[in-house]
Every structure is written in C-alpha cells, then in structure tokens.
Amino acid sequence: MPTNDLNQLADATAARLRAWLLGGAVQQRDGEHAGGIYGAFDDGGAARYVYPEITGYYLHWLADIGSPHDTDHPVVVRRAQAAADWAARVLADGKVPATRAYLGTGAEPDWRNRAVFFFDLAMLLRGLCAAYEADLIAYPQAAIARLIEELARFVDTDGRIQAARSELADAALPPRWSTLGGPFEVKASSRVLLAARHQPLPAALEQACRALARSYRDSAATLPLQMLHPTLYFAEGMLVGEPDCAPQIATLAKRCLALADARGNLPEAEDSTVPRSDIIAQLLRVLLLTGSLDAQADTLVSALAARVDAQGRLPFRVDIAAPQANVWCAMFAEQALRWYAGRARGLPAAEWLV
C-alpha cells in the first residue's frame, strides 16, 4: 500500500479507536467502581472486571491525547476525573485495590486477586501523575502518597523489586512472568521514577528502580524473546528509564519483528501461534520511537487496522470463534496508529508510552 494511503488508514483507524475509548463503553458509570476502567469484555459484549493497571493506562492515554484545543477535551477531562475519583476511593484508608475487581455476580475465583502486583500499582501511579501533568485533574496527593507507600513495600532486603506480594499467608502464587518478576518490571520501575517529579520517593524504592534498568544495559539487545508481551514491556521501560539504550532496543525490536508473518501478525511467543493484537501495537510503538520503521514494519499498520471493527473495537485475539473486545489493546493501538500517521510532525517523548 502506498505510504500516503497507509497514513490515511492509520489516521482513520485511530480515530475510530479513540471514539470508542472516549464514548463511555470502557468506563464503569455507577456503583462501587464508578470511574474505573474495564480490562476486557466477554463473548456477549459485557464488561468483566475493572482493572487498576488499565485505569492507569487510561489516565496516561487521556494525558497523551488531552490537548485543550481539541473539541473532545471536555470529555477527556470528565473521563480523567472520574478515573481519578475511582482511584482515590479504592486507595482510601490504607486499602489496596484488587488486581481485577469483577463486576456482577457469579465470577469465578481469580488467583491474581490473592496477590498485589508492583506493576499494577506503578501503572496507576503513572496514570495519575500523567493526568495531572496534562492539567486534566488536580494533583491527587493522597492517592499518589498511598501508591508510593505501597510500592515501597515491594523492595526486599537485598534492594530488589518483587513482582508480586501474596496477601494471604497460605496463598502460593503460580509461576508466571507476572509473579516471577524480571526485565518486564523495568516498565513499571521507570514509571515510578517519573513520580519523583511531584513527590519524593523512599530512598530504597528509588534506588531499586534505578538499579533494575541499569542491570539490563549490557543485555538489552540480546534479551531472550520468550513471551513477546512482557519483552516489549521491557523495551518500553528501557526507552524511558535508559534512553541511551535506544539502539539496543531497536535491535531487540527487529528481532521481534522477524517473528511476524507476511501479513504483519505476531505470535504470543517464539514457540506459539496465538496472534495477539496488543503485541502488534506494542512493537509498532517501539519501532516508531527507535526510528526503526521499514517496509516490513509497515505491515504491522495494515494488520492492526484490519482487526478494528466499524465501532472502533479491537479484539485481544482474532483466531477464536467470538473475538472479545479488549481495552488495553485499543489504547496501545490508538497510540501506535496515531503516532504512525503523525510521525512527520514529530513523535512525543518516550515517557508518554501508555
């Protein structure tokens, strides 16, 4: 497809995604979790849960699009305030939000709600700070202080960040990338450090966050790919926490791109055939920010745009009978396609990666 046509496709698709994300479909309107942002939808199109990590992403995404000159700016402000109000409620009185607050009745027990995750709280912290920096909300002092206090509890006696902390003495967490920690936490730690612009961080937390990114400086380009989603979280974190490593991250991104098929679809992992939408959007953003676009990378735009329906919904996977719309996929994709279409006007700083 000619470059101009591809730019127009990216721009039009981003506009559909943006309309869906701002239209109210992804934000709880009332009840205990009013203002919280959904993670995903079930086969029937009903929201399944409110998610602190994704609420943080949403606040961050709103900050990225929140120009006061845009006609939809009042909507952006209302959405941001509602999400910030939700965060204030779930963090009040020393509380910690469940990683997935299921809506309705009859939800099956979720092992993730037996733990608290560093990544979840870091993303909510960054979202609140970003929304404040974009003048969408007043400074949420109490919520930010509470998040920093809780995040500091993840630093162990050796000065390392623990990915998850069980809230139940007898709850053994399964070995997942989200519980074992490692390079993907660089994204979370880099966002925690950005909060120091507004509020001092405990020394141990700040030192642990800085040390984590530094520890991967020499191996960033050769990091084992394994699961692409957390690998690209690592890449996103290094672009913020260690921007001088951008050439190494470009090499890592090219290794990920080599796994794409001729149509621009990417697998969940090197040894997987599961085609996930969020991974395409993540890789496109990293390629854009490292200046690594080429003809093969352009196929990601076509692949991503083809997955977005007329209402602006983007499914997590397209290889199942009833694809389920996914909120974080939509935010990653909107940002990637908008940046792609507007790259001639310059890219935003890497820290605005949702």
Instruction: Indicate whether 209 and 237 sit together in one domain.
Output: no
* C-alpha to C-alpha distances, 317 to 149, 157, 265, 276, nearest whole angstrom: 37, 40, 11, 5
How many Å apart are CA 347 and CA 288, to the nearest integer?
8
Region 3-16: what's the mean pLDDT?
A: 93
Residue 304 lies in a domain: yes
Instruction: Indicate whether 69 and 190 sit together in one domain.
Output: yes
Contact present, 147 and 191 (Cβ < 8 Å)? no
For residue 111, give the nearest of 156, 168, 182, 48 by alpha carbon. 168
Residue 176 has pLDDT above 90, yes or no: no
Instruction: Indicate whether 225 and 105 sit together in one domain.
Output: no
- Number of domains into which the chain is organized: 2
How many Å apart are CA 87 and CA 125, to the nearest integer?
10
Label residue 229 exposed, middle or buried (CB < 10 Å: 0-12, 13-18, 19+): middle
Region 218-239: what's the mean pLDDT?
A: 96
Instruction: Indicate whether 206 and 63 sit together in one domain.
Output: yes
> According to the model, what pLDDT value does residue 168 have?
53
Residue 180 lies in a domain: yes
Q: What is the pLDDT of residues 63-113, one digit of tens each?
A: 999 888 888 999 999 999 999 999 999 999 998 888 888 887 555 677 777
How many Å apart are CA 50 and CA 252, to the nearest integer?
33
Instruction: Indicate whether 327 and 223 sit together in one domain.
Output: yes
> According to the model, what pLDDT value does residue 312 have?
97
Instruction: Indicate whether 63 and 210 sit together in one domain.
Output: yes
Region 119-129: what's the mean pLDDT?
A: 98
Region 291-306: what's the mean pLDDT?
A: 94
Residue 44 lies in a domain: no
> According to the model, what pLDDT value does residue 345 have?
79
Contact present, 87 and 143 (Cβ < 8 Å)? yes
- Whether pTM > 0.85 for this model: the answer is yes
Residue 310 lies in a domain: yes
Residue 305 lies in a domain: yes
Instruction: Indicate whether 170 and 288 sit together in one domain.
Output: no
> According to the model, what pLDDT value does residue 303 have?
96
* Domain end among 191, 215, 239: 215
Q: Is 93 left (phi over 0), alpha (psi -120 to 50) or beta?
A: left
Sign of CA dihedral 303, 306, 312, 318: negative
Instruction: Indicate whether 187 and 230 sit together in one domain.
Output: no
Q: What is the pLDDT of residues 18-67, one digit of tens each?
A: 999 999 999 999 999 999 999 989 888 899 899 999 999 999 999 999 88
